[in-house]
A = this chain, B = another copy of it.
Amino acid sequence: MDDLTEMLKGTLEGCVLEIIGSEETYGYAVTRQLNELGFADVVEGTVYTILLRLERNGLVRVTKRPSEVGPPRKFYALNEAGREELARFWAKWQYVSSRIDRLKEGGR
């Protein structure tokens, strides 16, 4: 699949929220999960900028822990504000995607 970056704007952050909402994890692993999920071209730098933004916006709790296979990891977990933001994201997604699907089916 060719370039998806424009279509991911506004949704990739929500995907990262969902991933770290389902289990406490760190940037490198989030990138790998996104790649396996089908977003093969999403690269570490992109995920880290999103994580730093989430931290700056107070949506996550961050815990630094050593790793046995490399540098220390920054583990991210959603706080209450993060869970609310995630819920808002899915509500928006539901709204937008249903309307686009309707447009696709010629429902006008």
**How many of these chains are in the complex?**
2
Instruction: Please indicate the chain B residues that have their CB under 8 angstroms from the CB of A93 in the complex.
Output: 7, 100, 104
Tally of chain A residues near chain B (CB < 8 A)? 34
Docked-complex contact A4 and B108, CB < 8 angstroms: no
**Closest Cβ of chain B: how far from A101's Cβ, in Å?**
8
- Which one of A32-40, A54-62, A66-74 is at the interface? A32-40
> By DSSP majority rule, is chain A's interface helix, strand, loop, or mixed?
helix
Q: Does A53 contact B (CB under 8 A)?
A: no
- Which one of A10-18, A44-52, A75-83 is at the interface? A10-18
Q: Does A96 contact B (CB under 8 A)?
A: yes
Given A38-B99, A102-B37, A6 and B10 touching (CB < 8 A)?
A: yes
